[in-house]
Structure 1
Amino acid sequence: MDPIRSLINGLISTVILSFSLLTNSAVAQTDIDRLTTPALLSSRAAEELMLDITATGKQLVAVGDQGVVMRSEDQGRSWQQQQTPFSVMLTSVYFADPQHGWLSGHDGLLAATSDGGVSWQTLLDGNQVNQLRLQRLQEKLAELQVRADAEPDNTSLAEQLDSIAWQVDDAAAAVEGGAAVPLLDTWFADAQHGFALGGYGLLLKTEDGGENWVYWGDRLDNPDNFHLNAMTADHQGNLYIAGEAGLLFRSTDGGANWRRIETPYDGSFFAITEFSKQLYLMGLRGHLYRSDEGLQWSPVDSGYSVTLQSAVAGADKLVLLGQGGLILQSRDGEKFTPLDSGGRRSLSAGIALQGRYVLVGEGGLLTLETGHE
């Protein structure tokens, strides 16, 4: 990733992801190929930067810096680092069932497991991702050129052609630049059908568990290739993608088609979640919005202006996680009260268990007792 472009466009504007970029830059100065270099096993792995965590079946799985994957079979009371064949920054982990899971990371890494997170196999890297994007955009450019030739007075087609031509040039430059594209989130409907998304408007789709992928980003109204940060589904099966520059997309047909939704904020959104059949969208400077159907969004005043990274939606509580160790808890999704995280290290994700939360962030893995079973 080009750090100058990231700075100018404000592509990754949080402490945690900024830290990850600095880490990647430092490693990139060596000749180590992080995509093929196994992660080092360490007794202190649970204390290092972690970016995502999920619960699946009887196990918990967390991922983070330097290709670290942590796994627990006792609800987070003890953790074991798993061997992985890569050492890039890992940004997300998602399971469709207790056995089948996927993770994403920097340098375009996509990997899968079929044994509950014990072992992981690389599916894609950034070089392959860049080629998928370039190939699809070249095909679309050719399709538009045929239409434009048949309708020379169609100004709308001419504008589309110019836009796609620019995107083809950008994709070709990315191919020359190497495997630097960051993947930031994954979401699967089942063990076969899923999506991966990330930097520069990247959206990929698979229908065979990740064995094969197609570039899907050209289906989004995102001509500036802004970052796509998070994806989720609501209780009705509608899909949502949140990104920078106020981006929000909605699909009602399983991701085949996407509609851009207007939002009241033009800054970055880092997470979207559902709680009590209400959707919550959150991001920079504490901006938080709520919606019944995902079309109209109303502001929610949490009482804090700290960037919100993620949310934990339990059965009866919504918990917001953010920079500086911020934890906000609400029973109704309207009034929030702070919880003491025990420090000021930023938090990036978490899960709710009986009587406690298991959180991840700059300090690694953190268990927060709530006192209620």
Structure 2
Amino acid sequence: MMRRPDAVGLLAVLAVLAGLFSETLARAAAPAREPVRVVKSGTTVTLYGIVFASPTAGWVVGSGGTILATTNGGASWKPQKSGSRENLYDVAFPAPRVGWAVGANGTILKTTDGGAKWTAQKSGTIVSLYDVTFLDEKRGWIAGADGTILSTEDSGASWQDRPTGSKAHLYAVLFLNEKDGWAAGALGTLLVTKDGGRTWTVRESGTPSTFFDIAFPDPTVGWIAGNSGALLQTLDGGEKWEDRSLAQPVDLTSLAFTDIKTGWVVGDRGAIFRTTDGGFTWSPYGRSPQTTFYGAAFRDGKTGVAVGDKGIIVQIAVP
């Protein structure tokens, strides 16, 4: 028997509604992404530094020469042989397979094959080296104890000790381009260079807080994080720094910005804070273990990783 046109239309509408209802149920049944999720690291040593060279490839460094690598965006981690027993505090990868790790007793390690092999480079110093940054595969800088700044223009074949005029421990170094750079450290120490790190001058920070990290989401907007909730912001490329400290007196150890408005800062006792308005407000994000974080990095605008005490690694997910 031939169906009437109105009956056929009704059946079509019902089929569409049934499909939409099924899709809604499927979405409701799908597990939501946890804002903060612990990932197995395979170690219990302290992890200090993290970097992503791509959305999938990343490295973590830590105590006793520990180096971990991921090829799936931080979902899982595998150890690499560093050839060192020194504590490693930071890692940088200016290219997908070329990277450096730095640490205690002047340790500098380099890889050219994504970490399959790490080779020691001569630093010319025995002080602890805390932070490393590279603009490209040739030009890099390292900050360390006793006001130490090292620089290279030949991929680390040689490192030059640059006078800073400071004896403060320097925990962070960052370059915006081949000329303009910043270093920060103990007791409010803030240094600036305009000649690629050959000379450094003191810039007034206005605080005695110890600084642990620097980030510039663009050339004019920058941030510094430190102990007791210290946060400083510049809107003019560092000519003037404003106090944006948190009300919570937690030590803030690492900054990560995904754009000029969206940023993250992590620190002690599991602290993770996020801003979505350029730093005017910072709010606690997710629930994390009460473990101190020392490093954080975002592989894209939606997923980040923080590392810290007792081998802790957490993934930070943005809905």
TM-score, normalised to structure 2's length? 0.80
Could you tell me whether the CA contact under 8 Å between 1:88 and 1:105 is conserved in 2? yes
**Comparing both chains, which one has the higher relative contact order based on Cα–Cα distances under 8 Å and sequence gaps of 6 or more?**
2
Q: Deviations along 1:293-338, whole A, 9 cap, x unmatched?
A: 1121111142211111111111352111111111111012110110
Could you tell me whether the CA contact under 8 Å between 1:102 and 1:113 is conserved in 2? yes
- The amino acid that maps onto 1:360 is V
Shift of the alpha carbon at 1:236? 9.3
Within-5 A mapping of 1:85-164:
85-124=83-122, 128-129=124-125
**Structure-2 residue corresponding to 1:285:** 228
Could you tell me whether the CA contact under 8 Å between 2:291 and 2:312 is conserved in 1? no
User: Counterpart of 1:107 in 2: which secondary structure?
Assistant: helix
1:251/1:284 Cα in 2 relative to 1: closer, same or farther (>3 Å)? same
Alignment partner of 1:251 is 2:199: no
Shift of the alpha carbon at 1:273? 0.7
Match of 1:213 among 128, 141, 159: 159
Distance in 1 (alpha carbons) for counterparts of 2:212 and 2:94? 22
Q: Give structure 2 stretches of 5+ with no counterpart.
A: 1-39
TM-score, normalised to structure 1's length? 0.69
1:363/1:204 Cα in 2 relative to 1: closer, same or farther (>3 Å)? same
**Structure-2 residue corresponding to 1:20:** none
Distance in 2 (alpha carbons) for counterparts of 1:359 and 1:198? 22
Could you tell me whether the CA contact under 8 Å between 1:358 and 1:365 is conserved in 2? no
Shift of the alpha carbon at 1:341? 4.0
1:236/1:104 Cα in 2 relative to 1: closer, same or farther (>3 Å)? closer
Could you tell me whether the CA contact under 8 Å between 1:69 and 1:84 is conserved in 2? yes
- The amino acid that maps onto 2:152 is T
- Structure 1 or 2: more helix by fraction: 1
Distance in 1 (alpha carbons) for counterparts of 2:111 and 2:67? 12
Shift of the alpha carbon at 1:83? 1.1
Within-5 A mapping of 1:180-259:
181-216=127-162, 218=163, 220-222=164-166, 225-234=167-176, 238-259=180-201
**Structure-1 residue corresponding to 2:283:** 337
User: Counterpart of 1:275 in 2: which secondary structure?
Assistant: coil
Match of 1:295 among 225, 239, 242: 239
- Stretches (4+) displaced over 6 A: none
Q: Give structure 1 stretches of 5+ with no counterpart.
A: 1-42, 130-178
**Structure-1 residue corresponding to 2:266:** 321
Shift of the alpha carbon at 1:234? 3.3
Distance in 2 (alpha carbons) for counterparts of 1:320 and 1:231? 17
Distance in 1 (alpha carbons) for counterparts of 2:310 and 2:147? 30
**Structure-1 residue corresponding to 2:48:** 51
Could you tell me whether the CA contact under 8 Å between 1:63 and 1:69 is conserved in 2? yes
1:248/1:302 Cα in 2 relative to 1: closer, same or farther (>3 Å)? same
Q: Bigger shift: 349-358 or 319-328?
A: 349-358
- The amino acid that maps onto 2:51 is T
CA RMSD of the aligned region, Å? 2.0
Larger radius of gyration: 2
Could you tell me whether the CA contact under 8 Å between 2:179 and 2:197 is conserved in 1? no
User: Counterpart of 1:112 in 2: which secondary structure?
Assistant: strand
- Structure 1 or 2: more strand by fraction: 2
**Structure-2 residue corresponding to 1:262:** 204
